Amino acid sequence: MRKRRYTSLTKHFPLLEDTPLPVIHNIVATAQITSSLDTLDLNKIHLYFPFSFYDKERFAAITIRLSSPECTALLFSSGKLVVTGGRSWYASVYSSLSIARLLAKCIPDHTFNLKSCEIQNMVAHAELDVQEGHLDLQAMYRHLGLNCTYQRNMFPGLIFRPEASPVVLLCFYSGKIVITGGKNMVDIYEGWNRLWPVVKEFIVPKQSAAVQSSAAL
Protein backbone atom coordinates (compact mmCIF):
# COMPACT_ATOMS: atom_id res chain seq x y z
CA MET A 1 0.00 0.00 0.00
CA ARG A 2 1.28 3.48 -0.86
CA LYS A 3 2.11 5.73 2.05
CA ARG A 4 -0.72 8.17 2.63
CA ARG A 5 -0.05 11.90 2.46
CA TYR A 6 -1.99 14.42 4.50
CA THR A 7 -4.55 16.27 2.36
CA SER A 8 -6.46 19.25 3.70
CA LEU A 9 -10.08 19.75 2.70
CA THR A 10 -10.64 22.54 0.18
CA LYS A 11 -14.38 22.01 -0.01
CA HIS A 12 -17.02 21.92 2.71
CA PHE A 13 -19.40 18.99 2.85
CA PRO A 14 -22.94 19.33 4.19
CA LEU A 15 -23.36 17.73 7.62
CA LEU A 16 -25.44 14.59 7.37
CA GLU A 17 -28.20 14.27 9.97
CA ASP A 18 -27.29 10.72 10.95
CA THR A 19 -23.51 11.24 11.21
CA PRO A 20 -22.29 10.04 14.66
CA LEU A 21 -20.49 12.96 16.28
CA PRO A 22 -16.78 12.37 16.91
CA VAL A 23 -15.24 13.17 20.30
CA ILE A 24 -11.69 14.52 20.50
CA HIS A 25 -9.66 12.60 23.09
CA ASN A 26 -6.03 13.35 22.26
CA ILE A 27 -4.02 16.05 20.51
CA VAL A 28 -0.32 15.87 19.68
CA ALA A 29 1.30 19.27 19.37
CA THR A 30 4.85 20.54 18.97
CA ALA A 31 6.07 23.74 20.59
CA GLN A 32 9.32 25.67 20.85
CA ILE A 33 10.58 27.33 24.02
CA THR A 34 13.30 29.91 23.43
CA SER A 35 15.68 30.94 26.21
CA SER A 36 18.83 32.90 26.94
CA LEU A 37 20.60 29.55 27.38
CA ASP A 38 22.28 27.86 24.44
CA THR A 39 20.95 24.47 25.55
CA LEU A 40 18.81 23.31 28.46
CA ASP A 41 20.43 21.22 31.19
CA LEU A 42 17.88 18.41 31.43
CA ASN A 43 19.60 16.83 34.45
CA LYS A 44 19.18 20.05 36.42
CA ILE A 45 15.58 20.50 35.25
CA HIS A 46 14.80 16.95 36.39
CA LEU A 47 15.97 17.89 39.90
CA TYR A 48 13.69 20.95 39.87
CA PHE A 49 10.64 19.05 38.57
CA PRO A 50 9.58 16.15 40.86
CA PHE A 51 6.80 15.34 38.37
CA SER A 52 9.32 14.49 35.64
CA PHE A 53 11.29 11.47 34.46
CA TYR A 54 14.67 11.55 32.76
CA ASP A 55 17.04 8.79 31.68
CA LYS A 56 19.45 10.12 29.08
CA GLU A 57 20.68 6.61 28.31
CA ARG A 58 17.23 5.64 27.08
CA PHE A 59 15.84 8.83 25.54
CA ALA A 60 17.10 12.32 24.69
CA ALA A 61 14.16 14.18 26.27
CA ILE A 62 12.80 14.66 29.77
CA THR A 63 9.20 13.55 30.35
CA ILE A 64 7.08 16.09 32.23
CA ARG A 65 3.59 15.23 33.44
CA LEU A 66 1.19 18.06 34.21
CA SER A 67 -2.05 17.64 36.15
CA SER A 68 -3.92 20.74 35.02
CA PRO A 69 -4.60 20.23 32.20
CA GLU A 70 -3.66 16.56 32.11
CA CYS A 71 -0.89 16.52 29.54
CA THR A 72 2.46 14.84 29.06
CA ALA A 73 5.32 16.77 27.48
CA LEU A 74 8.69 15.70 26.12
CA LEU A 75 11.22 18.51 26.54
CA PHE A 76 14.47 18.37 24.55
CA SER A 77 17.67 20.26 25.34
CA SER A 78 17.03 22.45 22.27
CA GLY A 79 13.80 23.72 23.84
CA LYS A 80 11.56 21.70 21.58
CA LEU A 81 8.41 20.35 23.22
CA VAL A 82 6.12 17.54 22.16
CA VAL A 83 2.83 17.77 24.07
CA THR A 84 0.31 14.93 24.15
CA GLY A 85 -2.93 14.30 26.01
CA GLY A 86 -4.62 17.64 25.46
CA ARG A 87 -8.17 17.79 24.15
CA SER A 88 -7.89 21.21 22.53
CA TRP A 89 -5.25 23.47 21.02
CA TYR A 90 -5.71 25.81 23.99
CA ALA A 91 -4.83 23.00 26.42
CA SER A 92 -1.66 22.30 24.44
CA VAL A 93 -0.69 25.99 24.45
CA TYR A 94 -1.48 26.34 28.17
CA SER A 95 0.65 23.29 28.99
CA SER A 96 3.56 24.68 26.96
CA LEU A 97 3.24 28.08 28.67
CA SER A 98 3.13 26.39 32.07
CA ILE A 99 6.42 24.61 31.39
CA ALA A 100 8.05 27.86 30.19
CA ARG A 101 6.90 29.61 33.38
CA LEU A 102 8.12 26.77 35.59
CA LEU A 103 11.52 26.95 33.91
CA ALA A 104 11.66 30.71 34.49
CA LYS A 105 10.74 30.19 38.15
CA CYS A 106 13.33 27.46 38.74
CA ILE A 107 16.11 29.15 36.74
CA PRO A 108 15.51 32.86 37.51
CA ASP A 109 18.72 34.14 35.95
CA HIS A 110 17.51 33.30 32.45
CA THR A 111 14.47 34.06 30.31
CA PHE A 112 12.12 31.50 28.77
CA ASN A 113 9.45 32.25 26.18
CA LEU A 114 7.00 30.18 24.17
CA LYS A 115 7.70 30.85 20.51
CA SER A 116 5.19 28.57 18.78
CA CYS A 117 2.72 25.74 19.28
CA GLU A 118 1.30 23.76 16.38
CA ILE A 119 -1.00 20.75 16.19
CA GLN A 120 0.55 17.76 14.45
CA ASN A 121 -2.20 15.19 14.96
CA MET A 122 -5.71 15.06 16.39
CA VAL A 123 -7.30 11.80 17.52
CA ALA A 124 -11.04 11.35 17.99
CA HIS A 125 -13.47 8.47 18.25
CA ALA A 126 -17.06 7.82 17.21
CA GLU A 127 -19.43 5.09 18.39
CA LEU A 128 -21.66 3.66 15.67
CA ASP A 129 -25.16 2.40 16.41
CA VAL A 130 -24.74 -1.12 15.04
CA GLN A 131 -28.10 -2.21 16.52
CA GLU A 132 -26.47 -5.06 18.49
CA GLY A 133 -24.84 -6.18 15.26
CA HIS A 134 -21.34 -5.41 14.04
CA LEU A 135 -19.23 -3.68 11.43
CA ASP A 136 -18.34 -6.11 8.67
CA LEU A 137 -14.58 -5.58 8.38
CA GLN A 138 -14.11 -8.44 5.95
CA ALA A 139 -16.57 -6.86 3.51
CA MET A 140 -14.90 -3.47 3.92
CA TYR A 141 -11.56 -5.03 3.08
CA ARG A 142 -12.96 -6.77 0.02
CA HIS A 143 -14.57 -3.63 -1.38
CA LEU A 144 -12.03 -1.00 -0.26
CA GLY A 145 -8.92 -3.15 -0.22
CA LEU A 146 -6.65 -0.76 -2.13
CA ASN A 147 -7.04 1.77 0.68
CA CYS A 148 -7.20 -0.66 3.61
CA THR A 149 -4.91 -2.68 5.83
CA TYR A 150 -6.50 -5.57 7.70
CA GLN A 151 -4.56 -8.34 9.40
CA ARG A 152 -6.78 -9.47 12.24
CA ASN A 153 -4.17 -11.92 13.58
CA MET A 154 -1.89 -8.96 14.28
CA PHE A 155 -4.38 -6.14 14.98
CA PRO A 156 -8.16 -6.39 15.50
CA GLY A 157 -9.00 -3.22 13.59
CA LEU A 158 -9.14 -2.33 9.92
CA ILE A 159 -7.11 0.71 8.88
CA PHE A 160 -8.87 2.74 6.19
CA ARG A 161 -6.72 5.33 4.40
CA PRO A 162 -8.98 7.07 1.86
CA GLU A 163 -7.54 9.00 -1.04
CA ALA A 164 -7.53 12.81 -0.73
CA SER A 165 -8.67 12.67 2.88
CA PRO A 166 -7.16 14.49 5.88
CA VAL A 167 -8.02 11.61 8.23
CA VAL A 168 -7.38 7.89 8.62
CA LEU A 169 -9.98 5.59 10.20
CA LEU A 170 -9.36 2.65 12.51
CA CYS A 171 -12.53 0.57 12.29
CA PHE A 172 -13.45 -2.13 14.81
CA TYR A 173 -15.94 -5.00 14.73
CA SER A 174 -17.87 -3.47 17.67
CA GLY A 175 -18.62 -0.31 15.67
CA LYS A 176 -16.04 1.89 17.34
CA ILE A 177 -14.20 4.19 14.93
CA VAL A 178 -10.94 5.96 15.77
CA ILE A 179 -10.34 9.03 13.60
CA THR A 180 -6.74 10.19 13.37
CA GLY A 181 -4.39 12.18 11.15
CA GLY A 182 -6.24 15.50 11.22
CA LYS A 183 -4.54 18.76 12.09
CA ASN A 184 -7.62 20.80 13.04
CA MET A 185 -11.30 20.44 13.96
CA VAL A 186 -12.43 20.83 10.34
CA ASP A 187 -10.29 17.85 9.34
CA ILE A 188 -11.86 15.67 12.04
CA TYR A 189 -15.51 16.65 11.71
CA GLU A 190 -15.77 17.19 7.96
CA GLY A 191 -13.32 14.41 7.11
CA TRP A 192 -15.41 11.93 9.13
CA ASN A 193 -18.69 13.36 7.80
CA ARG A 194 -17.46 12.74 4.27
CA LEU A 195 -16.50 9.11 5.02
CA TRP A 196 -19.54 8.18 7.10
CA PRO A 197 -21.75 7.24 4.07
CA VAL A 198 -19.03 4.77 3.02
CA VAL A 199 -18.62 3.20 6.46
CA LYS A 200 -22.31 2.83 7.28
CA GLU A 201 -22.84 0.60 4.24
CA PHE A 202 -20.94 -2.12 6.11
CA ILE A 203 -23.00 -2.12 9.32
CA VAL A 204 -24.65 -5.50 9.79
CA PRO A 205 -27.55 -5.31 12.33
CA LYS A 206 -28.13 -8.26 14.65
CA GLN A 207 -31.28 -9.39 12.79
CA SER A 208 -29.52 -9.34 9.43
CA ALA A 209 -26.62 -11.30 10.89
CA ALA A 210 -29.02 -13.99 12.13
CA VAL A 211 -30.70 -14.19 8.70
CA GLN A 212 -27.32 -14.56 7.01
CA SER A 213 -26.35 -17.36 9.41
CA SER A 214 -29.59 -19.22 8.66
CA ALA A 215 -29.05 -18.79 4.94
CA ALA A 216 -25.54 -20.17 5.26
CA LEU A 217 -26.90 -23.29 6.98
The residue out of 59, 90, 120 marking a domain boundary is 120
Contacts of 145 (CB under 8 A, 6+ apart): none
3-state secondary structure the chain: CCCCCCCCCCCCCCCCCCCCCCEEEEEEEEEEEEECCCCCCHHHHHHHCCCEECCCCCCCCEEEEEECCEEEEEECCCCEEEEEEECCHHHHHHHHHHHHHHHHHHCCCCCEEEEEEEEEEEEEEEECCCCCCEECHHHHHHHHHHHEECCCCCCCCEEECCCCCCCEEEECCCCEEEEEEECCHHHHHHHHHHHHHHHHCCEECHHHHHHHHHHHC
Question: Average pLDDT for residues 175-198, to the nearest whole number?
Answer: 94
Question: Average pLDDT for residues 23-52, to the nearest whole number?
Answer: 94
- Is residue 144 located within the same domain as residue 188? yes
The residue out of 87, 120, 153 marking a domain boundary is 120
Question: Average pLDDT for residues 208-213, to the nearest whole number?
Answer: 50
- Round to whole Å and give the CA distance between 78 and 95: 18
Residue 149, domain CATH: 3.30.310.10
Cα–Cα distances (Å) from 42 to 46, 56, 129, 166, in that order, read 6, 9, 48, 36
Tens of pLDDT, residues 126-150: 999 888 899 999 999 999 988 999 9
The number of folded domains in the chain is: 2
Question: Average pLDDT for residues 183-203, to the nearest whole number?
Answer: 93
- Is there a domain that residue 17 lies in? no
- Is residue 145 located within the same domain as residue 171? yes
**Residues found in the chain:** 217
Contacts of 87 (CB under 8 A, 6+ apart): 24, 25, 26, 27, 69
Question: Average pLDDT for residues 106-118, to the nearest whole number?
Answer: 93
- Is there a domain that residue 96 lies in? yes
Tens of pLDDT, residues 68-106: 889 999 999 999 999 999 999 999 999 999 999 999 999
- Is there a domain that residue 18 lies in? no
Domain hosting 88: range is: 28-120
- Is there a domain that residue 102 lies in? yes
**130: β partners:** none
Predicted confidence at residue 3, as pLDDT, reads 57
